[in-house]
Amino acid sequence: MQYLEELNEVQRQAVTHMEGPALVVAGPGSGKTRVLTYRIAHLIDRGIPPHNIMALTFTNKAAREMKERIERITGPKAYNVWAGTFHSIFARILRREAEIIGYPSSFTIYDTDDSKSLLKSILNDLHLSKDQYNINTLRARISSAKTNLITPRLYEKNEELMAQDRAAKRPHFHKIYSEYVARCKRSGAMDFDDLLYRLYELLQKSPETADKYRKRFPFLLIDEFQDTNFLQYQITKKFVHYPGSQRNILVVGDDAQSIYAFRGATIQNILDFQKDFKPYGVKLYKLEKNYRSTEHIVQAANQIITYNKRQIPKTIQSVRGAGNKIKLIKAMTDNEEGKRVVDAIVEQKNRLHLRNRDIAILYRTNAQSRIFEENLRQHNIPYRVFGGLSFYQRKEVKDLIAYFRLAINPQDDEALRRVINYPKRGIGKTTLDKISAQAAADQQTLWQTIPKMSFAPRTQNALDGFVALINNFRQTALEENAYKAALHIARRSGIMQQLKNDTSIEGLSRMENINSLLDGISEFIAQDEDNEEKDLSLAAYIQNIALLTDLDQNLPEDDDFVTLMSVHAAKGLEFPSVFVVGLEEQLFPSFMAMDSPEGIEEERRLFYVAITRSESYLTISYALSRYRYGQMRYNDPSRFLLEIDPQHIEGAAQPMANLNAQNTSRAGVRGNFKRAAGKLKTPIKVPQDFRPSPSAAIQAGMEVLHLQFGKGKVLAIDGARDKRVATIFFHQLKEQKRIMLKFAKLQILS
């Protein structure tokens, strides 16, 4: 057990914890991954079979690194540990058990575009307006319903939800939701939410199956527990709550880095874990030694997070010494901010001999990247912006993958719609609309419907040819490995020839993307061809890429470029030098969170994440004015800057004096309300018949009246139940405010 000597005392205690529930609160750079991997290695070393251990992560990269580290200690048997993302592990279980809940084992996994396409088809078939029923809103609402375990039937019986829909002028949402679920099932398809939702259904409906996997995995580990949502926690409890269980669950996370509420994550899971498992003797371990950042950076982070009320108290200490103080850049405009930040990068490269890849610029919104890109280009500094279009979202890649999906599951309506006439084969929109209408009437898939219909000879020949082509691909996918099947499909489908015929620069680029996709499949085969148990089929490859997540940031190691990305995208990464830009009220913290205490706390956690990405050099910048939405805006410096002790800021006296002079509003939400109210030129005349409307009735698009701010228009609503928050543009203020509806007193005007 020589590996235990590499751990500090608290890390060792967590790693050697054998039985019962445990919570490891891991500060930034505190060796969280080491604790997880060494614990698994220790379990194996103590005689626990690797296949009895399940480790759930949020990125494929984290799972891969975990297995590689375990292998270095235990040898190749580490690969028998079930380690992967929630979605990949749950998909693996569902592949084996899907038939119990009425799905084929070859079910398709729908991505965002597939879901949108399906919703558009449903709106068309139900003769509903795409303007009234916004596709993104529908997707978000369906996702929220599934995450909260609300089935279409339960949704329709919930009067509060139905009232919200009527007030928002989308009274038929429940029909759309019901039809969406039904069509996914008919097509043998699951969206990303279904990989959780349907696993919960499987465990709930089949006690025998639940017992099988409980016995199979007596040891459960979860990484980044602060990022779990309600449904993930419910599934977790299903795995460990049963008679006679020792509840051998260890979760690792940091409440101070919970920043994904907009994706449904809830900080409450990690805050409640000790209470939920208290009857079973839960142990708490705090990893408070930071091995990544220097002392000035760590102490600044400590000070900032103390302003949050909802947290698990801890004090992080750096083991790297004091290091450099934080630099603060004040600019008059956003253009000047871009210039001064890039000038500072040039200085670091020359004076400190940093490489481009040692440097990152982090911002609150992706739109901020433009100014920094322009200035980097002027200095001929290579850079890369992360968060753009994913490789797998490019049209030509999605087209070929749609053929792969049909070869595995011909019932996949969205894949069939995409390629039935690509490359063109004479099957037009009118023909497809007729097939779709008949399929909807018969409650069958397009593939089941095509043989039952008759068309003019030319169209019929095209349809017969398409069916024969897909059947040929199905047979090839069954007989050949992923690469041979993919190459055959790419050639026979006509996609490769079509792209070869396009000799433009764009056409050549698209052809390169197809070749890159095929290269990736070849690599998938090569990595595992010596493993007799490994599934090398096209179906296995499709599942592998379908489960790639945007949280898997892979920064190439052979390129030298400055990294530009949002703070959300930077979580889990680290750089010698970090520039956190745009620290202004209304931007960071975002105006979307200004009127919600929970929102401000999440923004503060986001800032905490941003500054703890830095190892040695941290620079924070802000501008007194910037163009936003086509207008010049003047904002105060962010409240978060004043939460840093001046002793950690270079030349602190003058910068901090400037900040105090520019921003004296430190009373949180109340201060924002007072400043907003003070902007009103004339006081609000409150009508005598003012009556606050029920919060559940307030929806996007409505005109409302507020006692302090006057009339406003509700631009958007997010959150669920008692956590619904409205973004409202108040006409007299000429600005947007975020108000939690639970506490708001708003009267609906229209």
Residues recognised as catalytic: 32-33, 223-224, 257, 613
Is residue 715 within 8 A of residue 700, CB to CB? The reply is yes
**Cis amide linkage into residue 451, ω under 30° from 0:** no
Torsion angle (degrees, nearest 10) of CA 715, 719, 721, 724: -40
Q: Are strands 22-26 and 283-287 parallel, antiparallel or unpaired?
A: parallel
Q: Closest by alpha carbon to 237, among 198, 284, 273?
A: 273
What is the distance between the alpha carbons of residues 319 and 601, in angstroms, rounded to a whole number?
A: 27
Q: How many CB atoms lie within 10 A of CB 527?
A: 11
Is residue 383 within 8 A of residue 342, CB to CB? The reply is no
Q: Which single residue is written with the structure tokens 């990303």?
A: 192
Phi then psi for residue 560, to 5 deg, are: -115, 100
DSSP 3-state of 720: coil
Question: What H or E segment, with its residue span, contains residue 725?
Answer: strand 725-730
User: What sign does the CA torsion over 489, 491, 497, 503 have?
Assistant: positive
Check residue 695 and report its DSSP letter: G
Is residue 373 within 8 A of residue 383, CB to CB? The reply is yes
Q: How many CB atoms lie within 10 A of CB 84?
A: 23
Torsion angle (degrees, nearest 10) of CA 638, 642, 643, 647: 140
Q: Are strands 703-706 and 710-718 parallel, antiparallel or unpaired?
A: antiparallel
Burial of 25 (0-12, 13-18, 19+ CB in 10 A): buried
What is the distance between the alpha carbons of residues 277 and 13, in angstroms, rounded to a whole number?
A: 19
**Cis amide linkage into residue 218, ω under 30° from 0:** no
For residue 179, CA distances in Å to 90, 345, 425, 439 come to: 24, 54, 30, 13
Is residue 698 within 8 A of residue 748, CB to CB? The reply is yes
3-class secondary structure for 585-648? CEECCEHHHCCCHHHHHHHHHHHHHHHCCEEEEEEEEEECEEEECCEEEECCECHHHHHCCHHH
Partners of 221 in the β-ladder: 55, 250
∠ CA(481), CA(486), CA(488), 5° rounding? 100
Is residue 415 within 8 A of residue 406, CB to CB? The reply is yes
Buried b (16+ CB within 10 A) or exposed e, 502-525: eeeeeeeebbebbeebbebbbebb
Q: Which single residue is written with the structure tokens 């505190």?
A: 30
What is the distance between the alpha carbons of residues 480 and 486, in angstroms, rounded to a whole number?
A: 9
What is the distance between the alpha carbons of residues 156 and 472, in angstroms, rounded to a whole number?
A: 43
Q: Which residues contact 241 (CB under 8 A, 6 or more apart)?
A: 247
Q: How many CB atoms lie within 10 A of CB 550?
A: 11
What is the distance between the alpha carbons of residues 176 and 713, in angstroms, rounded to a whole number?
A: 27
